[in-house]
Structure 1
Amino acid sequence: MSNNNKIEYVKIHNIMVQRLIKSALQFVSVTLEFVKSHQENVKLKKEDAQLYIKEMLHSVLFLLYINKPSIEPQEFMSQRMLESFRRNYSDVLEKYKTHLPLRPPYSILLDLVVKIMEHDQEDEMILDCLWDLNEKMLISGMGNEEQMSANDFAFSSRVVSCCYFSEKSTDFKTRKYFGASVACKGKIQREVFIDVACVKTWHPKVAIGVVNASTGNETLQLPEYVYSTAYRMKSSNTTSCICYKAMPPCPRCLDIFPNIIFSPEALEVYNAKWEHGNCAECESVSNLLKAERDLEEAVAMPLSNNRINRRQQRLIENLRNTRFLLRSNLIYYDSA
């Protein structure tokens, strides 16, 4: 059997690959329908909608391409869908092999939801919308699996976080800023997105804080009165029930953000198996500092000692173990 035939055999018979393909199609289809349903919404201009679609599609195609075995667009899209993307988003289909996405697909979807609901900033409103989208992303079980699977969490973040700054003495309070945990299957894929975030996407102070915490060095000291709540997605293997429940911070969050006021409060310390940077709090705090200039200026830049460069080196090494086409410099996809 030739190497290509072996790869095709794995794709056909590997149930995890089948679920990944099906999850990708569901995620793309649900996101497209969500955008379409809000195109008449004054909060979402047509130009902005197109940018979200392009960024989301590129991120999904990139994840499938660096998977082992690698999955091409024609292997999970219908011919009709593929032709539509070729007409409208040809650059996406040209660049997913050579340009890095700035964030995982679910972070893009969360950003889109927040934008559309920017005047409905209650946690419940955002979470209800995400819950509705998550339900639509459910995929049917295969073989001896349970009847429904919550998308295998291949493209859905298990945890969504929101944070804000509130100073009672002056009655000043910022809007709420949201973030999602890193959503992708596979060790390399997860490390790639965490390293991209540290090198390029997150606010530099958050990025250095994440890297420092992973090596036991200087933590990120935010001003007093930054509040944060994380919500974990709960699902059933036997029903299509999905809900969000507030959860206390994990040890990684406490390492990176030691003076955030978390609700619920931290429980007893336990061993976190995931690495620093995986948590949703990193993205939400980064969004907070990017948007609130006065607050950002009150945060001292942690000492970095070139640790970010080491993350870039790990990023390059991981990409070398995939089919991604590395150039002399890392290139990032710009949907604009």
Structure 2
Amino acid sequence: MDPQNNRRGEHLKYWEGFRKNAARLIEQMVFWSEETEEDTTPLVDEILHSIFFLGRLYKPQFSPKSIMTDEDMLEFLEESYPGAFQFYSSRLPRRAPFSCVLDMIVHKAGQENESEIKDQLQQLVTKLDGATAKYLLSTTMCVSQIVGPDSNRYYGVSLSTFGKVAGRVMVAASCLQTWHEHVAGAVLSYDKSKSPWSFFNGTIKLPGNVRCEAYNISDQRAKPPCKSCGNLFGFDTSESNEWPYGNCAEVESVNKLLENEAEVTEQVRFRAEWSTEGRQRAEREVRDLLNEYLRMSRYKWDGEFFLPQSIQPMQENDIEIN
């Protein structure tokens, strides 16, 4: 077989796996949303926009119609979630798709049911296309909490994107718009080459009464923090792996902890002195890099971030998902 044709075939096989997994995730989220008592339609709106955005960013591009080939489902989604269709090619998502999936599972299981959340994540991953799932699904989850049996648990997953451009766009967007200022500041301390800025160091040290543990989603085995997480949050680790900053599950989990636990936030300590001017410069640098990545992908950003809207849930007998 011609090596070039073989590579082309593998390339097309991968992207077909992406399309299938994207459609399956969307259908599953719609189904779960109908099962929950509280309004989780904003999570469906958000994952739609995030997946459609990635489809626009990747090469080859995937339109919503090419992802959702079920015409009845596509029509329902267009009518129910018009914002996702209107803004995926002009506004940036605040986070990657699988973060929405995680939040939906936590809604269903309850934040206190850690084992159930792990089981549901594991079951979901095994149902999807294993050859390409890692490029749309997260491989790691993390749980953070104040040490104690009755404390709330806060979950995060690793970044679920494929390719450097998509990953860096998501991290930059989260730094500028989504994450708690302490988490964003820690991630902003490093440039795209994983080297620290000379003019800003916002890395932090979490208090000793915080539990932060990561697990492999596919087998639920515990994973020690990587070197990057040690640098960001002061975790003790002997790991030498240094993943791109902002990609790890610990980042999202710690972010939720700090957003919800004022006691922890007050005890956070900065690991170096920094100035407001230095942080503002880091933010400008990251925004410039973000615009550079978007130009590379010929994406015309209007400067806004997508805000999911709460809508009326699907009426009984409208669409049935098996």
Answer whether TM exceeds 0.5 for this pair. Answer: yes
- Find the aligned partners of 1:13 and 1:218 in 2 and give their Cα distance: 40
Q: Please list the CA deviations of residues 70-99 of structure 1 after superposition, one character each: whole Å capped at 9, or x if unmatched.
A: 111111212222211121111211110011
Structure 2 SS opposite 1:164: strand
Counterpart for residue 210 of structure 2: 226
1:63 and 2:54 aligned: yes
Higher relative contact order (CA 8 A, sep 6+): 2
Which runs of no fewer than 5 residues in structure 2 stay unpaired? 1-7, 310-322
1:89 counterpart (70, 77, 81)? 81
Counterpart for residue 172 of structure 2: 195
Counterpart for residue 335 of structure 1: 308
- Find the aligned partners of 1:315 and 1:222 in 2 and give their Cα distance: 28
Write out aligned runs for 1:1-336 (5 A): 14-36=12-34, 38-39=35-36, 42=37, 45=38, 48-78=39-69, 79-118=71-110, 121-136=112-127, 138-139=128-129, 149=130, 151-166=132-147, 174-212=151-189, 214=194, 215=196, 217-234=201-218, 243-258=219-234, 260=235, 266=237, 268-272=238-242, 274-300=243-269, 303=274, 305=278, 306-327=281-302, 330-336=303-309
Structure 2 SS opposite 1:14: helix
CA contact (8 A) 1:11 1:18 kept: no
Q: Please list the CA deviations of residues 17-59 of structure 1 after superposition, one character each: whole Å capped at 9, or x if unmatched.
A: 22221221122122222223x23xx3xx2xx221111011111
- Find the aligned partners of 1:32 and 1:104 in 2 and give their Cα distance: 17
Amino acid at match of 2:291: I
- RMSD in angstroms over aligned alpha carbons? 2.3
Q: 4+ residue runs of structure 1 moved beyond 4 angstroms? A: 10-13
Q: Please list the CA deviations of residues 190-212 of structure 1 after superposition, one character each: whole Å capped at 9, or x if unmatched.
A: 11111111111110111111222
Percent identity over the alignment? 28
Deviation of residue 323 (structure 1)?
Answer: 3.6
Amino acid at match of 2:143: C
CA contact (8 A) 1:178 1:287 kept: yes
CA contact (8 A) 2:29 2:104 kept: no
Q: Please list the CA deviations of residues 250-290 of structure 1 after superposition, one character each: whole Å capped at 9, or x if unmatched.
A: 111111111x4x7xxx3x44242x31111110110010000
- Find the aligned partners of 1:203 and 1:57 in 2 and give their Cα distance: 24
Go from structure 1 to structure 2 and tell me whether the alpha carbon gap of 1:50 and 1:122 turns closer, same or farther (over 3 Å shift): closer
- Find the aligned partners of 2:102 and 2:11 in 1 and give their Cα distance: 33
Which runs of no fewer than 5 residues in structure 1 stay unpaired? 1-9, 140-148, 235-242
Amino acid at match of 1:204: E
